[in-house]
Amino acid sequence: MQVLALIESADHVCFRYRLSALAWALAERGMFLEALPLAKGLSARLGQFRRAARADVVILQRRLLPRWQLLWLRRLCRRLVYDVDDALFYRDSFSAAGPLSQMRLARFRLAVRVSDAVLAGNDYLRQYAAAYTDPRRVHLVPTCVEPGWYRPAGHHRSEAAVRLAWIGQPAMLPSLVSIREHLAAVARRLPGCELRLVCDRAPASLGVSVTLRPWSSATEAAELAESDIGISWLPDDLWSLGKCGLKVLQYMAAGLPVVANPVGIHQSLVVDGETGFLVSTPAEWVQAVARLAADPGLRNRMGAAARQRVVEHYSVRHWGPRLAAILDPAARPVPLDPRSITAIGPLPAARDK
């Protein structure tokens, strides 16, 4: 049985963690995953759609296709699954145009409506998608990691020598820049504090000593294991509600306590006072980081609890078989309402938008 994933790129974080890492579970069920980065050129893309007609299951990951392209793909597919792990129906937090986009919403709504199943990366996305289709066709499948890929941190440093960690894509650096004041306050309290930035570039100034470690899939786990506290910050806005917290899960898998603000997925992943601290103001950040810096034993206990939370709720081994069951066409899928396709009418002439 062939599962074809139409993705952004093979090295994109969403494909690596939401599909590629779980391919073993599909294989155990006799389902073999093939990935195709969605072509930019119209002719090549339509060729990929024709190829999709031969697959048993097609997963469209994240993309908001023009209406006519999505309907063309839908009619060619035996079973179409839409995978969403961001609030794609909004513009991002840093867009000068603001969050609302009628085009994004219309494309998202149609993708949900014509898909046989929807994979939602968090509960906010699940509820949002369920408003546009039969809720039984929308499945919560969180972004997950495998703790076995991460060596637990040693937690041997203390006080001012403590090392913070932030890992992420360059596109998310503005969220880190927005807490420059928080980091500067931490640096004043702990003058030797270092921020290990696992990313392809660093902002000009973050108010704290920064060591840039270029991201690599081969070294990211080791970089976190050599740190003491994982930090994360989400803007308090609509876009952030769709985030699925990969960096926080990575910190937790590496046995790091997490300091984050109480926004969106942070409130689900971080158990305040047990696996880290949920704090907002610069003063609260200083207090949380200083408390963890002064007590390696506390970091070790919180980090161990965080890692166990990943094992029980967000691990690849936990979710792989569940994903396979959702994708399997033989697993009594909820019938697609034919009106969601036939009421749309004939396909328009091919054109790119």
SS3 label, residue 343:
coil
Examine the pLDDT at 332 and tell me if it is beyond 80. Answer: no
Give 341's pLDDT tier (boundaries 50, 70, 90): low
**What is the reported pLDDT for 343?**
44
Helix axis angle, 282-294 to 180-189, nearest 10°: 40
Residue-wise burial string across 93-104, b where 16 or more C-beta atoms lie within 10 A, e elsewhere: beeeeeeebeeb
Lowest mean pLDDT among 113-122, 125-134, 288-297, 331-340: 331-340
How far, rounded to the nearest angstrom, does the alpha carbon of residue 92 sit from its chain's CA centroid? 14
Average pLDDT over residues 67-92: 96
Please write the tens of the pLDDT for every residue from 300-316: 999 999 999 999 999 99
Question: What is the dotted CATH code of the domain comprising 2-144+317-342?
Answer: 3.40.50.2000
Q: Which of 116-120, 196-200, 346-350 has the lowest mean pLDDT?
A: 346-350
Chain mean pLDDT for the chain? 93
Q: Look at residue 160 in the predicted model and tell me its pLDDT.
A: 82
Query: What pLDDT does residue 223 have?
Result: 96
pLDDT at 159 exceeding the cut of 90: no
Has residue 352 got a pLDDT over 90? no
Distance of CA 30 to the CA centre of its chain: 26
Residue 335 has pLDDT above 80, yes or no: no
Residue 224's pLDDT band, with cuts at 50, 70 and 90, is very high
Q: Which residues contact 272 (CB under 8 A, 6 or more apart)?
A: 262, 278
Residue 339 has pLDDT above 90, yes or no: no
Average pLDDT on 124-152 reads 96
Residue 14: count of CB within 10 angstroms of its CB: 21
Query: With pLDDT > 70 as the criterion, what percentage of the chain qualifies?
Result: 94
CATH of the domain spanning 147-313: 3.40.50.2000
- Residues carrying CATH 3.40.50.2000, the chain: 2-144+317-342, 147-313
Does 346 have pLDDT greater than 90? no
Read off φ and ψ for residue 90, nearest 5 degrees. -115, 160
The answer to whether 27 touches 325, Cβ cutoff 8 Å, is no
How far is Cα 338 from Cα 340, in angstroms, rounded to an integer? 5
Percent of the chain with pLDDT over 90: 89
Sign of CA dihedral 277, 279, 282, 284: negative
Over the stretch 162-217, which tens digit does the pLDDT of each residue have?
999 999 999 999 999 999 999 999 999 999 999 999 999 999 889 999 999 999 98
Query: Are residues 88 and 66 in contact, defined by beta-carbon separation less than 8 angstroms?
Result: no
pLDDT of residue 338: 60
Residue 103 has pLDDT above 50, yes or no: yes
Q: What pLDDT was estimated at residue 334? A: 72
Q: Which amino acid is at 99?
A: P
